[in-house]
Amino acid sequence: MPVLQQPQKPSPIHTQDTSMSCQCPRIPLSPMRPAPEKVSMLFKLYCLVVMTVVAATYIVVLRYTRTVSTDKYFSTTAVFLTEVVKLIISLGMLSWEVGGLRCMASTVLEEVIYKRKETLKLCVPSLVYALQNNMAFVALSNLDAAVYQVTYQLKIPCTAMCSVLMLGRSLSYMQWFSIFLLCGGVSFVQWKPLESTAVHIVQNPLIGMVATAVAVLCSGFAGVYFEKVLKSSSTSLWIRNIQMYLWGILMTFGGVVVNDGFAILQEGFLFGYTPLVCLVILLASMGGLYTSVVVKYTDNIMKSFSAASAIVLSTLASMYLFELHLSYIFVAGTTMVCISIYLYGLPKLENKNDSSKQEPKKMPVSV
Ligand code: C5P
């Protein structure tokens, strides 16, 4: 697997540096808190399955709240509140990592507030993710959930392209082929015949498609950018997340003011909120946090492959549980996913002209 080229800077969180004002233990010392790099395969599998199932449920529930519920809530407020929830959970996880609230507060001060340059790096993916998350609402207000799920799979080749351009990874022709095969396979597996659900709003499929295209580009770019920042130092994942969500809160609040400011003044911030809308926020938060954990332990391309396998497995499980029949399209999709995983893992050809034989390029952009 390609390795990032940037030097590993020691992080205060992982060293016993006592020069700082906080005297809290800088590494997780308790056996209850193993070093994050030493997680088991089972834990990775668990994160992947949860990430995938949460993402699929999120799409269906979001679509329902935008099209079937009567009072339409302000979607920008839901995106904003998701960032708030993710920040709170990340602060909680950091407390657990450093051993208490006081240590967490001083770590945040040291790592987030004082290291402004480091925090500034996360401004870019946070802005792009803010756009992506708002686009998901626009797309699902105008497109059927299955259509969105299928077209959104274009994020797989987009992520691969960003990994090549931004991380200097090299992919052989066979790996490129397997990535497109995977994209097609996942689309087939997720395809469901269009159901005529009662939709209470006017939809514009063109707007939905444009929003999906923007979300695809944002997903590829922001995912790889975050991976690059995360892996260019040994700074804790939770600190990186806190840095990003602080920006996220700022950016998404900008979205609330610009897009719905006047209407919110009249109707109220939580206008149209129901338990289902709260569920959308919860699912979006969980999905985002699990995504960050998966990217930490694998990479964005592996995340796509593993998520595809999780989609196949969870669809198979639900077919077994609900006694549904396998459709031809599902079998074709599953076969494509399996072949793509096999092809991606094949050793690269020993060819002089094969670009994959070359040393990985240095990362062109330093963050
Ligand atoms: O579809 P995709 O995998 O690109 O979705 C990523 C989602 O995970 C986005 O909603 C993004 O806001 C979220 N995320 C997060 N924290 C990270 C990385 C991504 O909440 N560190």
DSSP 131-160: HHHHHHHHHHHHS-HHHHHHHGGGHHHHHH
Give me the half-sphere count of Cα atoms (radius 13 Å) on the Cβ side of residue 220.
20
The predicted pLDDT at position 192 comes to: 74
Say how many Å lie between the CA of residue 69 and the centre of ligand 1.
26
Closest C-alpha residue for ligand 1 atom 13: 288
**Ligand 1 site: residues with CB under 6 angstroms?**
86, 129, 133, 155, 219, 223, 226, 241, 244, 287-288, 291-292
Closest C-alpha residue for ligand 1 atom 18: 292
Closest C-alpha residue for ligand 1 atom 19: 288
Region 177-184: mean pLDDT is 94
**Percentage of the residues of the chain whose pLDDT score is greater than 70:** 82
Say how many Å lie between the CA of residue 155 and the centre of ligand 1.
12
Beta-carbon contacts of residue 149 (< 8 Å; ≥ 6 apart): 56, 59, 190
CA–CA distances in Å: residue 26 to residues 10, 19, 99, 113: 12, 12, 9, 18
Question: Across 197-211, 329-343, 345-359, which has the greatest mean pLDDT?
Answer: 329-343
The predicted pLDDT at position 200 comes to: 65
Residue bearing tokens 């129901």: 274
The model's pLDDT over 283-294, given as tens digits with 9 standing for 90+, comes to: 999 999 999 999
Say how many Å lie between the CA of residue 226 and the centre of ligand 1.
9
The model's pLDDT over 1-59, given as tens digits with 9 standing for 90+, comes to: 333 333 344 444 343 343 344 566 554 433 334 444 678 889 988 998 899 889 889 98
> What is the model's pTM?
0.84
Which is the closest atom of ligand 1 to the Cα of 230?
A: 21
